[in-house]
A and B are shown apart, each in its own frame.
Chain A
């Protein structure tokens, strides 16, 4: 066994304080020992409501990284092949009046992959003709990827799919290509580019209205909101209640070995995520807006206790040990000292679509029941 004395003690405390979950805890922690350093995916079982409640002090003392993975990625469309009411004229988020006459060939483009998920959950998945690189759930994975390079689209490749309607936001470009689509006579509906818990419903309704299925949109928006509300309530039961006890959390965007890293602040979606999981948003405390590169000293000054990251980002620096090696400043923070790094796949962590509640649940579990979700990214 590789358990350190402190870890044994900690497990003992957890066992004592939560006798009812004795079996689950020990079963999972031994599984975690077996999985240490391996890439096996830690699929969560149950929800945050079943998780062992740790006290704020235990959460602060916990040592080790964890991974947030969705328990269930299956689609549950609100309708099967609904008949859109067409033609429909909508005023999109930029104030452009767009008339959609045909939804038989739908293409959605956004950097988060949220829009495609909404279309599938509305029951219109069978009309999709292509996907962006962030949309990679099983049902859509076989469609041609029109943004293989990340977030640049090319006009002819899109036209080749001859979409009858395009739903996009301003997160993908170049913008001129989107304008070319309008030149070509394809209705382009531009929806809100921001992703947060507050506008999931609005975003869902915008997409549904543009595709002529406003009722399905309302059903889906309501369902998403109910799930989020239930989830928030469940999280509130396990998360530390007072401001001072909440875990100081930051969202770091790290890519590659160059030492450039971004702190995601207000308006980036990370703020909504941290609020949603009941963490203390350090970026808000220091008035950090958008997505900007951050310096080592700013990170040390921020003293985060938990760091949220994208899985591919963590992999690109060589896992947790690689991250701590590349960014020595982290060693000067509680998060670095306790290796409290939480990763979640890039296409999910800030997507805020119909899966918002599940995403919150997965991140909350990795945060408040970390021993059950050991890190799934191996050190290289």
Chain B
């Protein structure tokens, strides 16, 4: 049974349309055709490597910024906050404030948002049975951003910091359901249908954003522009707390149904025969995708391609099983977004680059390559 699961998942990794009987014979060295033991070993190494990377990148990110604080003083400041005075704190008069009010919340936010987007991508690819599903590509992020923008333009604050998150979630949920219903026919989504649905959804959401830009005052207008390319500038602890709650719930839920996603990759009928309530799984998973996307979009705007690039890289290394894929994607996404944000906030003096620009710069070509690959393995534009 475990073998069956793996084979089914393999098909997912390269597109559902591959001729069934040939199975692994034409797999292309992605780690798909490895025996289970090697793969388990690889997964273990992957987790260790990602955890080390997470810690190292977090330290580098915490130690670099436009206000220069030497690494030793950063460490000193952290120790002082837990009551140990071994090392001197920052010598710059605003050093402590820069670290604790600006940089640390921002690095934490990058970590959370990266994890949320990568897991949302992995789950979405699982339930759509389509390797090109990603909250940004199919428009869930835009839907979230559109709903969140209305909060800004109309100045809604009835739920405090949570108002934006609430709207982002509602917008994301509506869009995710719409995409799911629109792109699915006879139990599967085809690559082209999904991409075209994404174009349509993004166009509608883009039009809505443009209209809100027109309605809003200068300040709201700037915030919407800032949103369209994404940025972590201005992250405060209040927002980190909101995102943390959403991300923890979202990732925990994703982990809890990761084994079911493996079953689902066998196809709806097989999964049903194995006792899986397919429709309920899909419904829950869509809510989770919307939740994770909302967590990312609410305060940081549209950051695309993280949900696409990270799960695919993980699959290449550790294979398509969701029990490894989901947690590894969370770690990988966190590392990737912390790196991207590091570039965004340090590349140009006094300025802050839009982070969505940086992820798209890397993710765009990757997406193109994936499309080519999906076309080849699916024997044309399936």
Residues of A within 8 A of B (CB): 144-149, 151-152, 154-157, 159-160, 162, 170-171, 173-177, 179-180, 183-186, 290-293
Contacts and interface: CB of A to CB of B under 8 A. Distances in A.
Contacts, number: 100
B101 interface: yes
B233 A160 contact: no
Given A160-B68, A291-B218, A292-B214, A174 B350 contact: no
B219 A175 contact: yes
A147 B351 CA distance: 7
22 contacts: A148-B349, A149-B352, A151-B222, A154-B66, A155-B98, A156-B98, A156-B102, A159-B102, A162-B92, A171-B219, A174-B222, A175-B219, A176-B233, A176-B234, A176-B235, A176-B239, A177-B233, A177-B234, A179-B234, A183-B101, A183-B236, A184-B101
A152 B351 contact: yes
Contact of A174 (B67, B68, B226): B226
Contacts of A149: 348, 351-352
Given A148-B350, A156-B102, A183 B222 contact: no
B352 A160 contact: no
B94 A170 contact: no
A148 B235 CA distance: 20
A162 B97 CA distance: 10
Nearest to A170: B219
Interface in B190-226: 214, 217-219, 222-223, 226
Interface in B325-360: 345, 348-352
B219 A173 contact: yes
A175 B218 contact: no
B380 interface: no
Contacts of B102: 155-156, 159, 180, 184
B103 interface: yes
Given A156-B102, A184-B94, A184-B98, A174 B348 contact: no
B275 interface: no
Given A175-B234, A176-B236, A185-B97, A156 B217 contact: no
Interface residues of B, number: 31
Interface of B: 65-68, 92-94, 97-98, 101-103, 214, 217-219, 222-223, 226, 231, 233-236, 239, 345, 348-352
Contacts of A159: 67, 94, 97-98, 102
A174 B233 contact: yes
A160 B98 contact: yes
Contact of B233 (A145, A151, A152): A152
B92 A156 contact: no
B93 to A, nearest CB: 5
B107 to A, nearest CB: 12
A281 B218 CA distance: 22
Smallest CB-CB A-B distances: 6 pairs: A176-B234, A184-B97, A160-B67, A156-B66, A159-B94, A155-B102
A156 B67 contact: yes
Contacts of A152: 222, 226, 233, 351-352
Contacts of B233: 152, 154-155, 174, 176-177
A291 B219 CA distance: 12
Contact of A290 (B65, B98, B103, B217): B217
A173 B101 CA distance: 17
Contact of A183 (B92, B97, B217, B219): B97
Contacts of B219: 170-171, 173, 175
Nearest to B217: A290
A148 B222 CA distance: 16
B217 A155 contact: no
A184 B99 CA distance: 10
B6 to A, nearest CB: 46
A146 B350 contact: yes
Nearest to B95: A159
Contacts of A160: 66-68, 92, 94, 98
A130 to B, nearest CB: 9
A186 B97 CA distance: 10
B98 A173 contact: no
A154 B222 CA distance: 15
A171 B66 contact: no
Contacts of A154: 66, 233, 345, 350-352
Contacts of B236: 176, 179-180, 183
Nearest to B213: A293
Contacts of A151: 222
A263 to B, nearest CB: 13
A102 to B, nearest CB: 11
Contacts of B239: 176
B62 to A, nearest CB: 12
Contacts of A157: 66-67, 349-351
Contacts of B222: 151-152, 173-174
Contacts of B351: 148-149, 152, 154, 157
A331 B214 CA distance: 27
Nearest to A182: B101
A149 B229 CA distance: 15
A51 B218 CA distance: 38
Given A156-B98, A180-B102, A144 B350 contact: yes
Given A154-B233, A156-B65, A174-B233, A180 B348 contact: no
Contacts of A170: 219
Given A155-B234, A156-B65, A183-B236, A173 B223 contact: yes
Contacts of B94: 159-160, 162, 184, 186
A174 to B, nearest CB: 4
Contacts of B97: 159, 183-186
A28 B141 CA distance: 60
A264 to B, nearest CB: 11
B93 A147 contact: no
A173 B94 CA distance: 20
Nearest to B225: A152
Residue with the highest number of chain B CB atoms closer than 10 Å, among A175, A180, A291: A180
B214 A180 contact: no
